[in-house]
Amino acid sequence: MATVYLVLLACTMAPVIALQLGADATVLVWMVFTLVLIKAILLVDHFMEMKHAPRGWRLAAQGWAVLVIAALAGVRWVL
């Protein structure tokens, strides 16, 4: 569990560190999108304890991240 917590912390800190190192805004956006997916998987599986839940429940709980990212990426692409 400590490893998952540390990975979540690293996922939270990575965009801030990348920004301070001068990363491009487009890189940051896609980095955040990727990290949101990783964090969603970890949160659902480990902290919501759905690792051994039926597949449908896991997909429903993790699917929100995919839908939100798809919507935001669509808006970003249009604008």
Range of the domain at 25: 2-78
Q: Which of 2, 73, 63, 61 is nearest to 32 (CA)?
A: 73
Model-wide pTM > 0.85: no
> From first to last of its 79 residues, what are the pLDDT tens digits of the chain?
899 999 999 999 999 999 999 999 989 999 999 999 999 999 999 989 898 999 999 989 889 999 999 998 898 778 7
Q: State how many domains the chain has.
A: 1
